[in-house]
A = this chain, B = another copy of it.
Amino acid sequence: MSATRIPEATVARLPVYLRALNAMSEAGTTTCSSLELATAAGVNSAKLRKDLSHLGSYGTRGVGYDVDYLRYQISREIGLTQDWPVVVVGIGNLGHALANYSGFSSRGFRTVALLDADGSRQGEVVAGLEIRSFDDLEDVVTEHGVGIGVIATPAVAAQDVADRMVAVGIRSILNFAPTILALPEGVDVRRVDLSSELQILAYHEQRKASAASAPAIVVEQVARTAGGAR
């Protein structure tokens, strides 16, 4: 089970299933079928069952899945049962939003430091944390054992920040800056690019508009993280 390599497309969907299960749990639902969960997550039920089969056999034939049990198993598989200290660099509007984002601080992730190169921002308190100097990066990483870094700086600063992060031992980076980072192998980078997302929507909008005359069978819901590739 855990020994088997889980397909990348499946890994990208596990957080979606987890979110749907959390909503069910909050609503007091204790059991669900693959069809119900798949519908809530916006995927095909065969795909859901195939995905879950990579984790193990956590359902009951004829019955379905126990919501809280499956929630726990997925959390465990992703690694959310342990604590992930995170450092955020670049505390502009986006950095503020990230620092305050509850999904960030809850459930496994803990923002341990907010860093900014701009001296005038340092000392300001955001989401209960004082903004510190970017020079404190190494201290913070060492002290808290940070493995994940979040970059929310302007594009020009991002590569430098990433290089420094890698130099002090960070091997997973979430990059919000609109730049493609060049980093050594073994470092995992995920890029969240607002402008790319808009462009992809625009491409489909354009097609819809030009297909408006002829009847068309087009575009349905697209989950952004479902199906990330390496």
> Which A residues form the contact surface with B (CB < 8 A)?
6, 9, 11-12, 14-16, 18-20, 40-42, 77-80, 82, 84, 86, 92-94, 96-98, 100-101, 103-104, 107-109, 147-148, 171-174, 178-183, 185-206, 208-209, 218-230
Given the contacts A79-B202, A148-B201, A224 and B220 also touching, CB distance less than 8 Å: no
Q: How far is the CA of A77 from the CA of B202 in the complex (A)?
A: 10
Q: Is the CB of B208 within 8 A of A101?
A: no
Q: Is the CB of B181 within 8 A of A148?
A: no
Please name 27 pairs of A and B residues whose Cβ atoms are closer than 8 Å in the assembled complex, sorted by A: A11-B204, A15-B193, A19-B179, A19-B195, A41-B180, A42-B182, A79-B202, A79-B206, A82-B206, A84-B205, A93-B94, A97-B97, A98-B194, A108-B199, A109-B198, A148-B198, A148-B202, A173-B201, A174-B194, A174-B201, A188-B222, A190-B197, A191-B225, A197-B225, A220-B230, A227-B227, A227-B230
Q: Residue on B with the closest CB to A94? A: B97
Q: Is the CB of B223 within 8 A of A204?
A: no
Q: How far is the CA of A222 from the CA of B32 in the complex (A)?
A: 33
Q: Residue on B with the closest CB to A108? A: B202
Q: How far is the CA of A98 from the CA of B96 in the complex (A)?
A: 12
Q: Is the CB of A205 within 8 A of B147?
A: yes
Q: How far is the CA of A166 from the CA of B20 in the complex (A)?
A: 23
Q: Is the CB of A79 within 8 A of B203?
A: yes
Query: B185, B195, B223: which contacts A180 (Cβ < 8 A)?
Result: B223
Q: Is the CB of B178 within 8 A of A222?
A: no
Q: How far is the CA of A101 from the CA of B198 in the complex (A)?
A: 12
Query: B93, B198, B227, B229: which contacts A100 (Cβ < 8 A)?
Result: B93
Q: How far is the CA of A223 from the CA of B147 in the complex (A)?
A: 19
Of listed A14, A18, A179, A205, residue having the most chain B CB within 10 A: A205
For the complex formed, measure the closest distance between the CB of A177 and the CB atoms of chain B, giving whole angstroms.
10
Q: Is the CB of B96 within 8 A of A221?
A: no
Taking CB atoms, residues of chain B closer than 8 Å to A42 are 180, 182
Q: How far is the CA of A84 from the CA of B230 in the complex (A)?
A: 30
Q: Is the CB of A80 within 8 A of B148?
A: no
Taking CB atoms, residues of chain B closer than 8 Å to A96 are 93, 97
Q: Is the CB of B178 within 8 A of A19?
A: yes
